[in-house]
Amino acid sequence: MQVKIRPARNQDIPFLAWVMFTAARSHLAVCPWSVIYDESETRTQILLARLSQIPALHWSHVSKFWIAQVDGTSAAAMCGFVPAQTTLSIPAEPELSVAKQEFGYSEQRLAGIRERLTTASHGFPEDLPNIWAIENVAVLAKFRGKGLIDQLFEHTLEEGRKKGFKQVQILSLIGNEPGQRAFERNGFKVLSQKTNAAFDELFGTPGAKLLTRNL
């Protein structure tokens, strides 16, 4: 098995949409993005593909991803980035604008999406200052158990070191035991967690954990 770690390119966007969808779904029956947008899996991934093309979204832009390619096939991916240091003047503006432009949602429907995005924000711990961050970690089913995530971590952690960061964080939904084990295997430890009743009611999990490690 020949593995190559490379930066993502625009032609990878459909695969990255799947990665973001799968990573967000975690252990849940329904992907939180599908809940937020009230959309099917297919249409949710179309919206995520559009989000990957917005430079202001550090957590999802194509330029922030690395791909593990196995014998020429994109098999896994991971996003490494610096969390935004400023808050947008209009919360969730990119997510809402993409939905409006792509599917022409009404203002009433957009209001519902905004409300669910606000609820989603209440279930995640705050980003740490001066931190390198990793998100959107997923691997195709047939390539699981082959060490691709570990190789991506090795590469993405080194990218953080090159940028001068001393610590890295990753978020994990509470209940995602396989994901947490993979993160802990790569040196992460749980620093904190945040729970919220409305988040639990909407998504079926009480919140998220913040894991960190030194670089």
pLDDT tens digit sequence for 48-96: 999 999 988 889 999 999 999 999 999 999 999 998 765 544 457 888 9
pLDDT of residue 185: 96
Per the DSSP assignment, residues forming a β-bridge with 143 are none
pLDDT at position 103 over 90 = yes
pLDDT at position 119 over 70 = yes
Give the CATH number, domain containing residue 94.
Answer: 3.40.630.30
DSSP 61-80: -GGGEEEEEETTEEEEEEEE
What does DSSP assign to residue 205?
A: S
Per the CB < 8 A criterion, the answer to whether 177 and 30 are in contact is no
Read off the tokens for 111: 């209001």
With 0-12 / 13-18 / 19 or more C-beta atoms within 10 angstroms meaning exposed / middle / buried, residue 191 is middle
pLDDT tens digit sequence for 123-175: 999 999 999 999 999 999 999 999 999 999 999 999 999 999 999 999 999 99
pLDDT tens digit sequence for 3-24: 999 999 999 999 999 999 999 9
DSSP 148-192: HHHHHHHHHHHHHHHTT-SEEEEEEETT-HHHHHHHHHTT-EEEE
The range of the structural domain enclosing residue 115 comes to 3-214
Coil/strand/helix, residue 23: helix
Overall domain count for the chain = 1
pLDDT of residue 90: 46
Structure pTM? 0.94
pLDDT of residue 192: 97
pLDDT at position 38 over 50 = yes
Distance, in Å, from the CA atom of 114 to the CA atom of 159, rounded to the nearest integer, reads: 34
Per the CB < 8 A criterion, the answer to whether 144 and 181 are in contact is no
Q: Which of 76-90, 98-112, 172-186 has the lowest mean pLDDT?
A: 76-90
Which amino acid is located at 72 in the chain? G
pLDDT of residue 215: 96
For residue 74, how many C-alpha atoms fall within 13 Å in the half-sphere facing its CB?
19
